[in-house]
A = this chain, B = another copy of it.
Protein backbone atom coordinates (compact mmCIF):
# COMPACT_ATOMS: atom_id res chain seq x y z
CA UNK A 1 0.00 0.00 0.00
CA UNK A 2 2.88 2.31 0.79
CA UNK A 3 4.14 1.79 -2.76
CA UNK A 4 0.83 2.61 -4.31
CA UNK A 5 0.67 5.69 -2.22
CA UNK A 6 4.01 6.95 -3.42
CA UNK A 7 3.18 6.17 -7.01
CA UNK A 8 -0.16 7.86 -6.90
CA UNK A 9 0.93 10.86 -4.91
CA UNK A 10 0.65 14.47 -5.90
CA UNK A 11 1.88 15.05 -9.41
CA UNK A 12 2.67 18.56 -10.62
CA UNK A 13 -0.38 20.23 -12.11
CA UNK A 14 -0.04 21.11 -15.76
CA UNK A 15 -0.37 24.89 -15.52
CA UNK A 16 1.16 26.01 -12.28
CA UNK A 17 0.90 29.63 -11.36
CA UNK A 18 2.66 29.30 -8.04
CA UNK A 19 5.83 31.36 -7.96
CA UNK A 20 8.93 29.24 -7.39
CA UNK A 21 12.39 30.20 -6.21
CA UNK A 22 13.51 29.64 -9.81
CA UNK A 23 11.20 32.46 -10.89
CA UNK A 24 12.68 34.69 -8.26
CA UNK A 25 16.23 33.71 -9.25
CA UNK A 26 15.45 34.50 -12.87
CA UNK A 27 13.82 37.82 -12.11
CA UNK A 28 16.43 39.00 -9.65
CA UNK A 29 19.43 37.77 -11.62
CA UNK A 30 20.99 35.65 -8.90
CA UNK A 31 21.44 31.91 -8.53
CA UNK A 32 18.71 29.61 -7.23
CA UNK A 33 20.99 28.70 -4.35
CA UNK A 34 21.37 32.35 -3.38
CA UNK A 35 17.59 32.83 -3.49
CA UNK A 36 17.10 29.82 -1.28
CA UNK A 37 19.67 31.11 1.21
CA UNK A 38 18.11 34.55 1.20
CA UNK A 39 14.54 33.36 1.65
CA UNK A 40 15.45 30.94 4.40
CA UNK A 41 17.41 33.57 6.31
CA UNK A 42 20.66 31.65 6.06
CA UNK A 43 24.13 33.11 5.84
CA UNK A 44 26.01 32.99 2.54
CA UNK A 45 24.43 35.91 0.71
CA UNK A 46 25.12 39.60 1.09
CA UNK A 47 22.60 41.84 2.78
CA UNK A 48 21.96 43.72 -0.47
CA UNK A 49 21.28 40.46 -2.32
CA UNK A 50 18.94 39.36 0.44
CA UNK A 51 17.04 42.63 0.23
CA UNK A 52 16.84 42.43 -3.54
CA UNK A 53 15.61 38.83 -3.40
CA UNK A 54 13.01 39.62 -0.75
CA UNK A 55 11.75 42.52 -2.81
CA UNK A 56 11.44 40.47 -5.99
CA UNK A 57 9.82 37.62 -4.04
CA UNK A 58 7.30 40.05 -2.71
CA UNK A 59 6.62 41.58 -6.12
CA UNK A 60 6.08 38.17 -7.68
CA UNK A 61 3.80 37.10 -4.87
CA UNK A 62 5.95 34.29 -3.57
CA UNK A 63 4.87 32.31 -0.53
CA UNK A 64 6.49 29.28 1.13
CA UNK A 65 5.10 26.27 -0.70
CA UNK A 66 2.51 25.02 1.71
CA UNK A 67 1.42 22.34 -0.74
CA UNK A 68 4.91 20.96 -0.96
CA UNK A 69 5.27 20.50 2.76
CA UNK A 70 4.25 17.20 4.22
CA UNK A 71 0.57 17.43 5.01
CA UNK A 72 1.24 15.56 8.21
CA UNK A 73 3.28 18.49 9.40
CA UNK A 74 1.30 21.23 7.74
CA UNK A 75 0.31 24.03 10.06
CA UNK A 76 -2.63 25.98 8.80
CA UNK A 77 -2.48 28.70 11.46
CA UNK A 78 -6.25 28.45 11.45
CA UNK A 79 -8.73 27.33 14.07
CA UNK A 80 -12.17 26.15 13.00
CA UNK A 81 -15.38 27.21 14.70
CA UNK A 82 -18.67 25.95 13.33
CA UNK A 83 -21.95 27.05 14.84
CA UNK A 84 -25.30 25.41 14.13
CA UNK A 85 -27.20 28.63 14.26
CA UNK A 86 -29.46 30.93 12.33
CA UNK A 87 -27.39 33.90 11.11
CA UNK A 88 -30.02 36.33 12.35
CA UNK A 89 -29.91 34.83 15.84
CA UNK A 90 -26.15 35.30 15.91
CA UNK A 91 -26.68 39.00 15.37
CA UNK A 92 -28.73 39.54 18.50
CA UNK A 93 -26.64 37.53 20.91
CA UNK A 94 -23.89 39.46 22.59
CA UNK A 95 -22.25 36.29 23.93
CA UNK A 96 -20.55 35.14 20.74
CA UNK A 97 -18.95 38.40 19.72
CA UNK A 98 -17.35 38.64 23.16
CA UNK A 99 -16.35 34.98 23.09
CA UNK A 100 -14.80 35.37 19.63
CA UNK A 101 -13.04 38.55 20.77
CA UNK A 102 -11.47 36.53 23.58
CA UNK A 103 -10.38 33.78 21.21
CA UNK A 104 -8.90 36.34 18.84
CA UNK A 105 -6.87 37.91 21.64
CA UNK A 106 -5.01 34.60 21.93
CA UNK A 107 -4.95 33.96 18.18
CA UNK A 108 -3.50 37.37 17.38
CA UNK A 109 -0.44 36.68 19.50
CA UNK A 110 0.22 33.49 17.57
CA UNK A 111 -0.74 34.74 14.11
CA UNK A 112 -3.79 32.49 13.98
CA UNK A 113 -7.05 33.23 12.20
CA UNK A 114 -10.52 31.95 13.02
CA UNK A 115 -12.42 30.04 10.36
CA UNK A 116 -16.05 30.69 11.22
CA UNK A 117 -18.82 28.75 9.53
CA UNK A 118 -22.50 28.76 10.28
CA UNK A 119 -24.37 25.54 9.69
CA UNK A 120 -28.15 25.36 9.42
CA UNK A 121 -28.33 22.30 11.67
CA UNK A 122 -26.36 19.70 13.62
CA UNK A 123 -25.99 17.36 10.64
CA UNK A 124 -24.35 20.07 8.55
CA UNK A 125 -22.17 20.98 11.50
CA UNK A 126 -20.91 17.39 11.67
CA UNK A 127 -20.23 17.39 7.93
CA UNK A 128 -18.23 20.58 8.21
CA UNK A 129 -16.08 19.10 10.96
CA UNK A 130 -15.51 16.00 8.85
CA UNK A 131 -14.57 18.10 5.86
CA UNK A 132 -12.13 20.17 7.88
CA UNK A 133 -10.48 17.01 9.14
CA UNK A 134 -10.20 15.44 5.72
CA UNK A 135 -8.92 18.54 3.98
CA UNK A 136 -6.74 19.48 6.95
CA UNK A 137 -7.91 23.06 6.64
CA UNK A 138 -7.59 23.82 10.35
CA UNK A 139 -5.20 22.94 13.16
CA UNK A 140 -7.96 22.49 15.69
CA UNK A 141 -11.62 23.11 16.40
CA UNK A 142 -13.80 24.62 19.09
CA UNK A 143 -17.04 22.93 20.13
CA UNK A 144 -19.79 24.93 21.80
CA UNK A 145 -23.46 24.27 22.62
CA UNK A 146 -22.61 20.80 23.88
CA UNK A 147 -25.50 18.38 24.01
CA UNK A 148 -25.94 15.21 26.01
CA UNK A 149 -24.53 12.36 23.86
CA UNK A 150 -23.08 14.92 21.49
CA UNK A 151 -22.22 13.33 18.13
CA UNK A 152 -19.45 15.86 17.59
CA UNK A 153 -17.73 14.69 20.75
CA UNK A 154 -17.89 11.11 19.51
CA UNK A 155 -16.52 12.11 16.11
CA UNK A 156 -13.66 14.16 17.54
CA UNK A 157 -12.70 11.41 19.98
CA UNK A 158 -11.80 9.01 17.16
CA UNK A 159 -8.13 8.31 16.40
CA UNK A 160 -6.78 10.79 13.86
CA UNK A 161 -9.43 13.37 14.66
CA UNK A 162 -8.63 17.06 14.76
CA UNK A 163 -7.44 18.51 18.06
CA UNK A 164 -10.49 19.92 19.79
CA UNK A 165 -11.60 21.79 22.86
CA UNK A 166 -15.10 21.35 24.22
CA UNK A 167 -16.71 24.40 25.77
CA UNK A 168 -19.04 22.96 28.33
CA UNK A 169 -19.50 20.62 31.24
CA UNK A 170 -16.93 17.79 31.49
CA UNK A 171 -19.82 15.34 31.95
CA UNK A 172 -20.67 15.75 28.26
CA UNK A 173 -17.15 16.33 26.88
CA UNK A 174 -16.20 12.64 26.74
CA UNK A 175 -12.45 12.21 26.30
CA UNK A 176 -12.00 15.75 25.01
CA UNK A 177 -10.39 18.58 26.90
CA UNK A 178 -13.01 20.96 28.17
CA UNK A 179 -13.30 24.45 29.58
CA UNK A 180 -16.40 24.87 31.70
CA UNK A 181 -18.24 27.22 33.99
CA UNK A 182 -20.10 26.07 37.04
CA UNK A 183 -23.71 26.60 35.93
CA UNK A 184 -24.92 24.53 38.83
CA UNK A 185 -23.33 26.78 41.47
CA UNK A 186 -24.41 29.95 39.64
CA UNK A 187 -28.04 28.89 39.53
CA UNK A 188 -28.00 27.92 43.19
CA UNK A 189 -26.60 31.34 44.12
CA UNK A 190 -29.36 33.11 42.19
CA UNK A 191 -32.14 31.09 43.84
CA UNK A 192 -30.52 31.51 47.23
CA UNK A 193 -30.35 35.26 46.80
CA UNK A 194 -34.00 35.60 45.73
CA UNK A 195 -35.08 33.28 48.51
CA UNK A 196 -33.21 35.41 51.05
CA UNK A 197 -35.28 38.36 49.81
CA UNK A 198 -38.44 36.43 50.64
CA UNK A 199 -39.40 35.33 47.10
CA UNK A 200 -41.32 32.05 47.00
CA UNK A 201 -42.79 32.12 43.49
CA UNK A 202 -39.71 32.15 41.26
CA UNK A 203 -39.83 31.41 37.53
CA UNK A 204 -36.90 30.33 35.43
CA UNK A 205 -37.14 31.50 31.80
CA UNK A 206 -34.98 28.89 30.14
CA UNK A 207 -33.30 28.31 26.80
CA UNK A 208 -33.24 25.24 24.63
CA UNK A 209 -33.40 21.87 26.37
CA UNK A 210 -31.12 20.13 23.90
CA UNK A 211 -28.16 22.00 25.38
CA UNK A 212 -26.32 20.42 28.28
CA UNK A 213 -26.00 23.65 30.26
CA UNK A 214 -29.77 24.19 30.13
CA UNK A 215 -30.29 20.76 31.67
CA UNK A 216 -27.72 21.50 34.37
CA UNK A 217 -29.37 24.81 35.24
CA UNK A 218 -32.80 23.14 35.22
CA UNK A 219 -31.65 20.50 37.68
CA UNK A 220 -29.99 23.00 40.01
CA UNK A 221 -33.06 25.23 39.92
CA UNK A 222 -35.42 22.36 40.72
CA UNK A 223 -33.17 21.11 43.46
CA UNK A 224 -32.83 24.47 45.23
CA UNK A 225 -36.54 25.21 44.96
CA UNK A 226 -37.56 21.76 46.21
CA UNK A 227 -35.09 22.01 49.10
CA UNK A 228 -37.07 25.06 50.23
CA UNK A 229 -40.44 23.43 49.69
CA UNK A 230 -41.10 25.72 46.71
CA UNK A 231 -42.59 24.81 43.34
CA UNK A 232 -40.11 25.29 40.50
CA UNK A 233 -41.63 26.98 37.45
CA UNK A 234 -39.62 26.55 34.26
CA UNK A 235 -40.71 28.39 31.12
CA UNK A 236 -39.21 27.14 27.85
CA UNK A 237 -38.09 29.52 25.12
CA UNK A 238 -35.75 29.53 22.14
CA UNK A 239 -33.49 32.23 23.67
CA UNK A 240 -35.14 35.08 21.76
CA UNK A 241 -36.52 38.33 23.14
CA UNK A 242 -39.91 37.51 21.61
CA UNK A 243 -40.38 34.17 23.32
CA UNK A 244 -39.05 35.60 26.56
CA UNK A 245 -41.63 38.40 26.48
CA UNK A 246 -44.41 35.94 25.68
CA UNK A 247 -43.42 33.55 28.48
CA UNK A 248 -43.17 36.43 30.95
CA UNK A 249 -46.58 37.75 29.96
CA UNK A 250 -48.23 34.34 30.28
CA UNK A 251 -46.72 33.80 33.71
CA UNK A 252 -47.74 37.24 34.98
CA UNK A 253 -51.34 36.68 33.85
CA UNK A 254 -51.63 33.38 35.69
CA UNK A 255 -53.46 33.00 39.03
CA UNK A 256 -50.19 32.85 40.89
CA UNK A 257 -47.84 35.21 39.11
CA UNK A 258 -44.13 34.87 39.96
CA UNK A 259 -42.57 37.60 42.07
CA UNK A 260 -39.17 36.89 40.56
CA UNK A 261 -37.75 35.76 37.21
CA UNK A 262 -34.36 34.31 36.35
CA UNK A 263 -33.61 34.61 32.62
CA UNK A 264 -31.14 32.43 30.72
CA UNK A 265 -29.49 35.28 28.78
CA UNK A 266 -29.20 39.05 28.71
CA UNK A 267 -31.51 39.67 25.75
CA UNK A 268 -34.28 37.64 27.36
CA UNK A 269 -33.82 39.55 30.63
CA UNK A 270 -34.18 43.01 29.05
CA UNK A 271 -37.16 41.83 27.03
CA UNK A 272 -38.68 40.38 30.21
CA UNK A 273 -38.03 43.63 32.08
CA UNK A 274 -39.97 45.61 29.51
CA UNK A 275 -42.81 43.10 29.44
CA UNK A 276 -43.16 43.24 33.22
CA UNK A 277 -43.56 47.02 32.93
CA UNK A 278 -46.09 46.70 30.13
CA UNK A 279 -48.15 44.32 32.23
CA UNK A 280 -48.39 47.01 34.90
CA UNK A 281 -45.93 45.62 37.41
CA UNK A 282 -43.11 47.63 38.92
CA UNK A 283 -39.49 46.39 39.09
CA UNK A 284 -38.32 45.65 41.75
CA UNK A 285 -41.31 46.58 43.95
CA UNK A 286 -43.62 43.92 42.46
CA UNK A 287 -41.25 41.74 40.48
CA UNK A 288 -37.52 41.06 40.76
CA UNK A 289 -35.42 40.18 37.73
CA UNK A 290 -32.07 38.43 37.32
CA UNK A 291 -30.32 38.05 33.97
CA UNK A 292 -27.66 35.55 33.01
CA UNK A 293 -24.42 36.62 31.37
CA UNK A 294 -24.16 40.20 32.35
CA UNK A 295 -23.46 42.53 29.44
CA UNK A 296 -23.52 46.21 28.66
CA UNK A 297 -27.25 45.73 28.04
CA UNK A 298 -27.91 44.96 31.71
CA UNK A 299 -26.05 48.01 32.88
CA UNK A 300 -27.97 50.53 30.77
CA UNK A 301 -31.56 49.48 31.23
CA UNK A 302 -33.75 51.34 33.73
CA UNK A 303 -33.80 49.94 36.31
CA UNK A 304 -30.41 48.36 35.69
CA UNK A 305 -30.41 44.58 35.84
CA UNK A 306 -29.04 42.31 38.52
CA UNK A 307 -27.14 39.65 36.62
CA UNK A 308 -24.87 36.64 36.83
CA UNK A 309 -21.68 38.18 35.57
CA UNK A 310 -19.04 36.27 33.68
CA UNK A 311 -16.10 37.76 31.81
CA UNK A 312 -16.89 36.22 28.43
CA UNK A 313 -13.87 37.76 26.71
CA UNK A 314 -11.58 36.19 29.33
CA UNK A 315 -13.52 32.93 28.97
CA UNK A 316 -12.91 32.92 25.20
CA UNK A 317 -9.22 33.61 25.76
CA UNK A 318 -9.06 30.72 28.23
CA UNK A 319 -10.65 28.39 25.68
CA UNK A 320 -8.12 29.54 23.06
CA UNK A 321 -5.17 28.83 25.34
CA UNK A 322 -6.41 25.35 26.23
CA UNK A 323 -6.92 24.51 22.57
CA UNK A 324 -3.34 25.51 21.77
CA UNK A 325 -2.26 23.21 24.61
CA UNK A 326 -4.21 20.35 23.03
CA UNK A 327 -2.62 21.08 19.65
CA UNK A 328 0.79 21.02 21.33
CA UNK A 329 0.00 17.55 22.63
CA UNK A 330 -1.12 18.27 26.20
CA UNK A 331 -3.10 15.57 27.99
CA UNK A 332 -6.85 16.05 28.06
CA UNK A 333 -8.25 17.75 31.11
CA UNK A 334 -11.32 19.55 32.43
CA UNK A 335 -10.55 23.18 33.14
CA UNK A 336 -12.92 25.21 35.24
CA UNK A 337 -13.32 28.84 34.31
CA UNK A 338 -14.37 31.44 36.87
CA UNK A 339 -17.90 30.96 38.26
CA UNK A 340 -20.38 33.67 37.22
CA UNK A 341 -20.99 36.01 40.16
CA UNK A 342 -24.22 37.72 40.99
CA UNK A 343 -23.89 41.46 40.41
CA UNK A 344 -26.71 43.11 42.31
CA UNK A 345 -28.13 46.21 40.62
CA UNK A 346 -31.56 47.80 40.74
CA UNK A 347 -33.84 45.06 39.42
CA UNK A 348 -33.98 42.90 42.53
CA UNK A 349 -35.53 43.66 45.90
CA UNK A 350 -37.62 42.20 48.74
CA UNK A 351 -40.62 40.13 47.72
CA UNK A 352 -43.89 42.07 47.82
CA UNK A 353 -46.09 41.40 50.88
Report which A residues bind B (CB closer than 8 A): 1, 4-18, 20-23, 25-27, 32, 58, 61-63, 65-72, 78, 80, 87-94, 96-98, 100-102, 104-105, 107-108, 112-120, 128, 130-131, 133-136, 160, 241, 267, 270-271, 273-274, 296-297, 300-302, 312-313
Instruction: Given A114-B117, A160-B61, A296-B92, verify A70-B104 contact (CB < 8 Å).
Output: no
Q: Chain B contacts of A14 at CB under 8 A? A: 70
| Inter-chain contact A90/B101, CB cutoff 8 Å | yes
Q: List 9 interface pairs A-B (beta carbons < 8 Å), by A numbering.
A: A5-B16, A6-B12, A8-B32, A13-B69, A13-B71, A63-B135, A87-B108, A108-B120, A302-B302
Contact between B71 and A17, CB atoms less than 8 A apart: yes
Q: Which B residues are in CB contact (< 8 Å) with A72?
A: 15-17
CB pair B297–A274 under 8 Å, yes or no, is no
Residues A65 and B108 in contact in the complex (CB < 8 Å), given A23-B1, A97-B90: no
Residues of B within 8 A of A241 (CB): 296
Docked Cα-Cα span, A271 to B32, in Å, equals: 61
Chain B residues with CB below 8 A from A12, complex form: 6, 9-11
Given contacts A21-B8, A63-B135, A68-B11, A115 and B78 within 8 Å (CB-CB): yes
Given contacts A94-B94, A116-B104, contact A26 B4 (CB under 8 A): yes
Q: A11-B68, A88-B105, A113-B117 are in contact. List 8 more A-B contacts (CB 8 A).
A: A5-B16, A6-B12, A9-B18, A10-B65, A90-B97, A91-B102, A112-B117, A300-B301
SS class, residues of chain A in contact with chain B: helix
Most chain B CB within a 10 A radius of its CB, from A21, A32, A104, A271: A104
Contact of A97 among B15, B93, B133 (CB under 8 A): B93
Among B9, B16, B113, B119, contact of A71 (Cβ-Cβ < 8 Å): B16
Q: Is the CB of A270 within 8 A of B300?
A: yes
Q: Which residues in B have their C-beta under 8 angstroms from that of A21?
A: 8
Residues of B within 8 A of A23 (CB): 1, 4-5
Q: Are B91 and A98 touching (Cβ within 8 A)?
A: yes
A108 to B119, CA, bound (A): 7
Is the CB–CB distance between A107 and B118 below 8 Å?
yes
Would A10 and B18 be within 8 Å (CB), given that A26-B1, A91-B312, A313-B88 are in contact?
Answer: yes
Contact B87 A102 (CB under 8 A): yes
Instruction: From A7, A13, A80, A102, name the one whose CB has the most chain B CB atoms within 10 angstroms.
Output: A13
Inter-chain contacts of A5 with B (CB < 8 A):
16, 20, 22-23
With A97-B96, A108-B120 given, is the CB distance from A10 to B68 under 8 Å? Answer: yes
Residues on B with C-beta less than 8 A from A300 are 270-271, 273-274, 297, 300-301
Q: Which residue of B lies closest to A97 (CB)?
A: B97
The residue in chain B whose Cβ has the minimal distance to the Cβ of A118 is: B104
Q: Which residue of B lies closest to A108 (CB)?
A: B118
Residue of B nearest to A109 (CB): B120
With a CB–CB cut-off of 8 A, which chain B residues contact A119? 108
CA distance A26 to B32 in the complex (A): 40
Q: Are B66 and A135 in contact (CB under 8 A)?
A: yes
CB-CB nearest 9 A-B residue pairs: A302-B302, A63-B134, A4-B22, A91-B101, A113-B117, A87-B105, A97-B97, A91-B98, A67-B67
